[in-house]
Amino acid sequence: MAIALLDYLFQSPLISTQDVQSRLAVSPQTARTLIEQFVKLNLLKEVTGRRRSRRFSYWQYLEYLSEGTKPL
């Protein structure tokens, strides 16, 4: 499942638990566990600051994509 989530992050670097649940066809608990593991590995960062309806960023990938670009 972790490899499937990593593949999905390249397509959609900003995700929610519900996104992972539907994309990978897993239970809500499995989606939360996968995301928690990726957060512990510093692959994902929570970006909303909320307890519910949280979104997570594959921040290293987004930083790589924005390297050398000027902010608008």
Beta strand ranges found along 10-62 (DSSP E): 14-16, 45-46, 55-57
Please give the single-letter amino acid code of residue 54: R
Q: Tens digit of pLDDT for each residue in 15-64?
A: 999 999 999 999 999 999 999 999 999 999 999 999 999 999 998 877 77
pTM of the model: 0.83
State residue 71's pLDDT score: 65
Can you list the domains of the chain with their CATH numbers? 2-66 (1.10.10.10)
Question: What is Dmax (Cα atoms) for the chain?
Answer: 40
State residue 63's pLDDT score: 76
What crossing angle do the helices spanning 17-24 and 2-11 adopt, rounded to 10°?
110
